[in-house]
Amino acid sequence: MEPAVHKSWRRVFHNLHRAFIIPKRNSSGWADHAAASPHSSHVKSTLLVSRLYQPSNLRDMGLDSQVAGEMSCKSQRLMQQAGLIHPSNPGCYYYLPTAVRSMEKLIRVIDQEMQGIGGQKLDMPSLCSADLWKASERWDLMGKELFRLKDRHGTDYCLGPTHEEAVTTLVAHQATLSYRQLPLLLYQITRKFRDEPKPKFGLLRGREFYMKDMYSFDVSEEAAHQTYESVCQAYTRLFARLGLRCVQVQADTGNIGGTLSHEFQLPADIGEDRLLVCGNCSFSANVETLSSDKTDCPRCSTGSLVESKGIEVGHTFYLGKKYSHVFEATFSSAQNKLTTAEMGCYGLGVTRILAAAIEVMSTEEEIRWPGLIAPYQVCVLPPKKGSKVDEASVLAEELVQTLGEALPCLRGEVVLDDRTQMSIGKRLKDACRLGYPYIVVVGQGALEETPKFEVICQQTGETMFLSKDGVLDLLGKVETL
Amino acid sequence: MEPAVHKSWRRVFHNLHRAFIIPKRNSSGWADHAAASPHSSHVKSTLLVSRLYQPSNLRDMGLDSQVAGEMSCKSQRLMQQAGLIHPSNPGCYYYLPTAVRSMEKLIRVIDQEMQGIGGQKLDMPSLCSADLWKASERWDLMGKELFRLKDRHGTDYCLGPTHEEAVTTLVAHQATLSYRQLPLLLYQITRKFRDEPKPKFGLLRGREFYMKDMYSFDVSEEAAHQTYESVCQAYTRLFARLGLRCVQVQADTGNIGGTLSHEFQLPADIGEDRLLVCGNCSFSANVETLSSDKTDCPRCSTGSLVESKGIEVGHTFYLGKKYSHVFEATFSSAQNKLTTAEMGCYGLGVTRILAAAIEVMSTEEEIRWPGLIAPYQVCVLPPKKGSKVDEASVLAEELVQTLGEALPCLRGEVVLDDRTQMSIGKRLKDACRLGYPYIVVVGQGALEETPKFEVICQQTGETMFLSKDGVLDLLGKVETL
């Protein structure tokens, strides 16, 4: 029925277990929670791994989850295995519930950083009229990368891969901006479309993806450069908060246009971009921008350039008046003269950042997340049913309860792996693969006079044996959004 | 350049003022905030009306903001005038920053209610393969309502108006579900596409819009009916929380299929649906489902049916095996037999709820919001510059500061109308039109020995004169998300 779908997925989801927040139905219909407090914003029930919509059986999964005809990579394989994504059409993926949790957190961090520099969030249509794209001459320039369609009246549209035309028209039709009102920074986080000739690497190069695109309007070239700089700084802060090493490199402006451009690259072997980084100064550039045989640094002239590969996760462009001229986006200057605005545009690949982070942080077998955007922060493992330490089960449930009540930052962030028909070892392996930042094993130690819990910090690799208070202390420091 | 754009908009945005959270640039580049605390999730600067991306000059706006060739209505006019939306192509709108704030809140309420009954959020591609839609026979059935396109390889796609095919295929490819894992409820809140023959009424009948669509998988018809009922209850709770009167009516199943269906209708004069409501019992139905000359209630037979009009904001369908049969979405029963799942699907028009709420709650001149999803909760008006009570200005700024610090629920929810070149009266009129639930006027009374603030509760129409503590008490009770 669906040609691009994988039979291997059937295997992956063999013995699939589900989790959601609630409800074992009781005789009266739905679980108590739903009736209890419709106004409560926090779900009180325990999150159970057995009810999470993700494969429970990670150990038995085949490792060959390659999409038919597409090149695969580590993050794609790990994300499919863990039930984060599921392939649909070529270059298109279902984002499954665990991935959606992570993506919503990532979007919150991006919102904070964009609003922190004055960005205001809007939302522009995906259907973009051909007339707009013809005005900017990109209707022809974009060639086959543009998904095109006609409506029932035969009018031409494309599916927006980026929105310079749309946002500039919007601002142009709100006339008589004053210079006092600039800079104006508008951004959106929406689904974008690009008919890639060869979609590959899962979310790293898809045909339908989420992007944050921001557009700035300024009074002068100097002011526009200041805005440009502040956006670059916000990007740098963003990647620092995610714990990702990111290089800002001089880049080509491509078909977006403009005269100044930088890429934000995460160094990675599978990266499709070739970077030249100076060993001596801070200079770095995409190979595209340099004559290819260059080995001396053009800035410090003493250093030599070393090549590495990178995944482009962000891109900034100083556009000047390229679009504002065409669409007449003007403002009234201090001299009360109508003046064309200076523009910039700034992209972040939202779904690409998610996959790239997993690509650079994970091992071949185990997902590692930037802590801030891990889908869940903590997984608690009670002992196996019928084992010698079975009676510690109740302590595990109590711990989950206490964490939820005592630590507001962990509300909705703690899951209990209730698949107690499986050994602790097997479940621990699953938890490691899924990459919960903290795993708490409730075993033998929990039955001692002063109960001890085994806490594994996956980010650092440390294992600690802590009292309940110790666990609360440690987990109380976890940064969440 | 853009045919569907209105010259009247230019007028609307004459003397446009902007607001964002920050930055007057200082000499070192950007405002202190940005540098201060990149990790802070709360912006500390005061929100200034002069910097909000919305028209400042509501009084002078023409009232004829009708889209070329489209039928208009009150909510559309008010939303365009207030800078909540801006028309793009026919049936497509820019959602401007103030509307995005409201929509994000609405989405949070929907998330709470859907997750409260066990819904798990996912995100499915917009590009849907023709093969899937042909399998369900809807490729032909949908006719011109479906936006269709080909990719660079000539493969046929449509832009998903709804995702029964996509979600059923997803679940089918995760084989060997156990009956213990059901009910499974998956939902998404994404942009949908429908090539309406006559888009009209702004967000009420567009071609590109946001919808919440949930899909349920159950072991039996009985269980599916229980799930159906729990979703209907969640919808009822949702509209109750928004303070919207909503009628659940028996409905036609249309091209979605299935045997049981209800619409959730907001009674409104401009509603496109004709409802028959019994004056005696709880029976109500869409006219489509009854023989048109019916006037006696089919349930109680003593009451007579009264006709009213409604805006459809939600729709529920019991689907049975219509899709699960086609795409082979099966589970393993208690008798260990592969059995086809019983399905339901449940839609909420997200952007439509936003517009419909404004339609039914607003006056002809002033927007009224469901309090929970108002873009901002409070607007503080300092006195006019140079007026006799000018010195009260500092008290207004202090009040905004105090509200932000003392009331976590109001963080980011209080704006200061700093356009002090305008009289209080004019700004008050703007604030009333934009529909802030609470307006605080800082005037003469603030300079008395015990400063008094004038608080206007727009939802109730009450005006109170309160001390600072009184204001804090009152506003501390505001429910936010």
Quickly tell me which residue has 């009516």 as its tokens.
B249
- Quick one: pLDDT at residue A151? 98
Mean pLDDT calculated for residue range B288-309: 82
Please, which pLDDT band fits residue B20 given cuts at 50, 70 and 90? very low
Q: Is B127's CB within 8 Å of A193's CB?
A: yes
Number of Cβ within a 10 Å radius of residue B63: 11
Q: For residue A1, give the chain B residue with the closest CA.
A: B132
- Facing residues of A414 across strands? A378
pLDDT at B35 over 50: no
Using CA atoms, how far apart are residues A323 and A306, in angstroms rounded to an integer? 36
Mean pLDDT calculated for residue range B382-410: 94
- Quick one: pLDDT at residue B44? 52
Q: Is A100's CB within 8 Å of B123's CB?
A: yes
Q: Is B86's CB within 8 Å of A173's CB?
A: yes
CB distance from B326 to chain A under 8 Å?
yes
Closest residue to A21, CB basis, from B88, B92, B115: B115
Q: Is B16's CB within 8 Å of A181's CB?
A: yes
Mean pLDDT calculated for residue range B39-62: 63
- Quick one: pLDDT at residue B70? 64
Q: Is B174's CB within 8 Å of A16's CB?
A: yes
Which of A67-76, A322-331, B291-300 is predicted most confidently? A322-331
pLDDT at B6 over 60: no
User: B407 Cβ partners below 8 Å, 6+ apart?
Assistant: B472, B475, B476
User: What's the pLDDT tens digit per position in A145-165?
Assistant: 999 999 999 999 999 999 999
- Quick one: pLDDT at residue A52? 83
pLDDT at B133 over 80: yes
Q: Is B38's CB within 8 Å of A116's CB?
A: yes
**Best interface-test mutation with B: which of A152, A177, A326 has the largest number of B CBs within 10 A?**
A152
Q: Is B1's CB within 8 Å of A132's CB?
A: yes
Nearest C-alpha of chain A: how many angstroms from B294? Answer: 35
- Quick one: pLDDT at residue A27? 36
Closest residue to B149, CB basis, from A53, A148, A479: A148
Torsion sign (Cα): B1, B5, B7, B11: negative
Q: How far is CA B182 from CA A16, A19, B225, in A?
A: 11, 10, 13
User: What's the pLDDT tens digit per position in A337-383?
Assistant: 999 999 999 999 999 999 999 999 999 999 999 999 999 999 999 99
- Quick one: pLDDT at residue A253? 74
pLDDT at B370 over 90: yes
Quick check: A312 and A274 in contact, CB under 8 A?
no
Please, which pLDDT band fits residue A44 given cuts at 50, 70 and 90? low
pLDDT at B23 over 80: no
Q: Phi/psi class of residue A118: alpha, beta or left (left: φ > 0; alpha: ψ in -120 to 50)?
A: left
- Quick one: pLDDT at residue A257? 67
Q: Is A127's CB within 8 Å of B169's CB?
A: no
Torsion of the alpha carbons at B267, B271, B274 and B279, rounded to the nearest 10? 20
Using CA atoms, how far apart are residues B323 and B327, in angstroms rounded to an integer? 6
Nearest C-alpha of chain A: how many angstroms from B38? Answer: 7
Q: Which of chain A's residues have a Cβ under 8 Å away from the Cβ of B6?
A: 173
- Quick one: pLDDT at residue B409? 92
Closest residue to A20, CB basis, from B86, B118, B177: B118
pLDDT at A83 over 60: yes
Closest residue to B120, CB basis, from A25, A88, A97: A97
- Quick one: pLDDT at residue B29? 33
Closest residue to B2, CB basis, from A20, A169, A190: A169
Nearest C-alpha of chain B: how many angstroms from A307? Answer: 32
Residues 174-193 of B with CB under 8 A from A: 174-178, 181, 183-186, 190-191, 193
Q: Is B1's CB within 8 Å of A327's CB?
A: yes
Residues 238-267 of B with CB under 8 A from A: 240-241
* Stretch among A251-260, B311-320, B410-419 having the lowest mean pLDDT: A251-260
- Quick one: pLDDT at residue B71? 74
Q: Is B34's CB within 8 Å of A116's CB?
A: yes
pLDDT at B383 over 50: yes
Nearest C-alpha of chain B: how many angstroms from A444? Answer: 30
Give the percent of chain A with pLDDT over 90: 72
Average pLDDT over chain B, rounded to whole?
Answer: 87
ipTM of the complex: 0.89
Q: What CATH number has the domain spanning A372-476?
A: 3.40.50.800
Q: How far is CA A331 from CA A337, A367, B164, in A?
A: 8, 49, 48
Closest residue to B89, CB basis, from A1, A92, A127: A127
Q: Is A43's CB within 8 Å of B116's CB?
A: yes
Quick check: B61 and A260 in contact, CB under 8 A?
no
Please, which pLDDT band fits residue B9 given cuts at 50, 70 and 90? very low
- Number of C-alpha atoms within 13 angstroms, CB side, residue A342? 20
- Quick one: pLDDT at residue B175? 53
Q: Is A29's CB within 8 Å of B230's CB?
A: yes
Residues 10-69 of A with CB under 8 A from B: 10, 12-18, 20-23, 25, 29-31, 33-34, 38-41, 43, 51-53, 55
Q: Which of chain A's residues have a Cβ under 8 Å away from the Cβ of B55?
A: 174
CB distance from B121 to chain A under 8 Å?
yes
From-to residues of CATH 3.30.930.10 in chain B: 104-359
Give the percent of chain A with pLDDT over 70: 85
Across the A/B interface, how many CB contacts are shorter than 8 Å? Answer: 291
- Quick one: pLDDT at residue B30? 34
Answer yes or no: CATH 3.30.930.10 is held by domain A104-359: yes
User: What's the pLDDT tens digit per position in A281-336?
Assistant: 878 888 888 876 677 888 888 888 888 899 999 999 999 999 999 999 999 999 99
CB distance from A421 to chain B under 8 Å?
no
CB distance from B287 to chain A under 8 Å?
no
Nearest C-alpha of chain B: how many angstroms from A267? Answer: 24
CB distance from A89 to chain B under 8 Å?
yes
- Quick one: pLDDT at residue B474? 97
Looking at per-residue pLDDT, the higher value among A231 and A285 belongs to A231
From-to residues of CATH 3.40.50.800 in chain A: 372-476
- Quick one: pLDDT at residue B56? 56
pLDDT at B345 over 70: yes
Q: Is A2's CB within 8 Å of B132's CB?
A: yes
- Facing residues of B211 across strands? B190, B349
- Sheet order of strands, B127-129 included: A127-129, A156-159, A148-150, B148-150, B156-159, B127-129
Q: Which of chain A's residues have a Cβ under 8 Å away from the Cβ of B408?
A: none
| CB burial string B129-158: b at 16+ within 10 A, e below | bbbbbebbebbeebeebbbbbebeeebebb
Residues 129-158 of A with CB under 8 A from B: 129, 131-132, 135, 144, 147-149, 151-152, 155, 157
Using CA atoms, how far apart are residues B61 and B13, in angstroms rounded to an integer? 8
Mean pLDDT calculated for residue range A262-274: 91
Please, which pLDDT band fits residue B352 given cuts at 50, 70 and 90? very high
Closest residue to B94, CB basis, from A170, A197, A233: A170
Mean pLDDT calculated for residue range B93-113: 97
- Quick one: pLDDT at residue A293? 66
User: What's the pLDDT tens digit per position in B56-66?
Assistant: 556 555 444 44
Q: Is A34's CB within 8 Å of B195's CB?
A: no
Looking at per-residue pLDDT, the higher value among B266 and B7 belongs to B266
Nearest C-alpha of chain A: how many angstroms from B133? Answer: 9
